[in-house]
Chains A and B, each alone.
Chain A
Amino acid sequence: MIRKCLLTVIMLSLLAAQGFAQGFIQIKGSDTLINLVQRLSEVYMEQNPETMIATTGGGSGVGIAALIADRIQIANASRPMKDKEKTAAKENGVMPYEIVVGIDGLSVIVHGDNPIGHLTVNQIGKIFRGEILNWNQVGGPDMPVSLYGRQANSGTFVFFQEHVLGKKDYSARMKRMNGNAQIVEGVLADKAGIGYVGVGYVYDDAGNVREGLKVLKVARDLDSEPVDPLNAENVKSGKYPITRALYQYVNGKPTGEVKDFIAFELGEGQKIVEEMSFYPVAGEYLEQNKKAGF
């Protein structure tokens, strides 16, 4: 009798586990993407109640490491995968497929009282490498620059290092914050502060730029015109110098509910991308997504 009961329980739990596993997508990675993907999955789950999606953060590096270890279905990343990571994935039998879900104008922010309105990419690089130490070296007031950045597990950290710092090291005096939101809070409280965040993080709930925060215009070099990342056209056309794609990586060509979810993100979901103040996929990235079957 007892044995029979036990058997039934085991059978039932096995069944339940299977049913659970069938409609369950685990997403992990970029802290820049987390709010956006969470919103996307919420809307998707409303329409498809049989699918369960769990989204967590930790940073692009953490998400990619989890995909390499085959612990999750989708990795969010605000930077492309490094060659080192691709080899590690192959060694583990994981074939990463790359999908672009949105575009971000990586925004350089300063305190609202700072009179500086624009900088060149080169100047920003020098500031974050610790070669420019005082705001008066770029025409600002006499106060030491206070740097706010992300931690090494962040895709934004790595992207900024590659494209603005020229792959050189960040100043060791840069404060390593836990997320985009913390950088915004830090700069809001620091008159000498400068930081970088995804464009979606500079707005308040009403869709205005946070009070007391200034988003710098960035010029490619001294001869070109400074460009505003808050203007969608500048970012979509790539005129804004620190434009980047926001990625999702999956293991192998997506199938089943993972495929359905990504199709939703790239279709109807693009409106949500805009609502969350990022920019929809355009141009070359559309072609790239087509190759992955979308």
Chain B
Amino acid sequence: MELKKNKLHQTPVWWRRLKEQVIEKFFLVHGMLAVLILMGIFSLLFIEGFPAFKALGLKSFFFSTKWNPTSFVQESYGILSILISTLMVTFGALLIAVPIGIATAAYIADVAPPRVREVIKPVIEVLAGIPSVVVGFLGIIVVGPLLSRLFGTSNGLNAINGSILLAVMALPTIISISEDAILSIPQEYKNASLALGANKWQTLIRVTIPSAMSGIIAAVMLGMGRAIGETMTVLMATGNAPAMPHSFLDSIRTMTATIAIELGETVQGGIHYRSLFVIGFILFLMTFFVNLISDLVLEKYQKVNR
């Protein structure tokens, strides 16, 4: 006992303090790393893309629908049609994924018996792990032919195909976060509703889901971020025609697909190369704001429930 006490006294106080501080800084650096990487990506996209902005002007990017940087006749860098294509598949995907996602989440959280829940939850998590190439492949060989038969078009490589596949990919995100939101609604709310004579369905639709709304909105926004940024699936399934789309049955080309297709052959530092960075920059801003909004909504909902 005496000996141990002595030993403790042998390590000087300054040494212990230093150790504490080093350990603290070590964790601080790791905490900052993600922020630094984000800022690095942001500035890289900006620095690489800015010269193209300067050379071509905002107008040629945002007021033209023609993207054709390798033309022999007239090179053009209008991103309007690919921007709209991206928004089209994204909102198409949400149109499909949101009702299904919320319904599934409500079922798992509120209705399903525990044993069913134990099966469904891991299955949805597996769905999230399917590589996008595999989903794209399904789009070509299953969804495409099905759509062409359904709509009487000669082929199924179009915006609906991309929307359906992106919906499948956004579903796991939407389901699991909405489910958390619905589960976090206090039991008293439901009890109060039931005590007033509402049945289970009315309670779910009029009390539980509205109370969880901010969490559900955050889930949808995160799913949307996933859909905007997805590349391989849409690249394979939408046909990549850069024309301005007129309907969901048109073949479209998204911003992500454009970057993926063209970056490999561009001359580094050339105007084509830099304009692809401009697309990347815009894409980054889009996903950044979608994520920011979902974060703000999530924060609000956590405060309400505290």
Contacts and interface: CB of A to CB of B under 8 A. Distances in A.
Given A175-B241, A176-B239, A153 B261 contact: yes
Interface stretch (A188-196, A200-208, A223-231, A254-262): A188-196
Contacts of A59: 264-265
Interface string A9-31: 00000000000000000000000
A32 to B, nearest CB: 15
Interface of A: 58-59, 61-62, 64-65, 68-69, 88, 143-144, 146-147, 151-153, 158, 161-162, 167-169, 171-178, 185-186, 189-193
B266 interface: yes
B237 to A, nearest CB: 11
A151 B72 contact: no
B243 A172 contact: yes
B96 interface: no
B154 interface: yes
Given A65-B266, A152-B261, A172-B66, A190 B241 contact: no
Contacts of B241: 147, 172-176
A168 B239 CA distance: 21
B140 interface: yes
Contacts of B71: 169
Nearest to A63: B265
Contacts of B68: 169, 172
Interface in B136-177: 140, 144-145, 148, 154-155, 157
B37 interface: no
Contact of B261 (A69, A151, A158, A167): A151
A146 B236 contact: no
A185 B253 CA distance: 19
Nearest to A161: B72
B155 A168 contact: no
Nearest to B156: A189
B211 interface: no
A147 B241 CA distance: 9
B155 A153 contact: no
A58 B144 contact: no
Contacts of B66: 172
Nearest to A61: B265
A62 B70 CA distance: 14
B229 interface: no
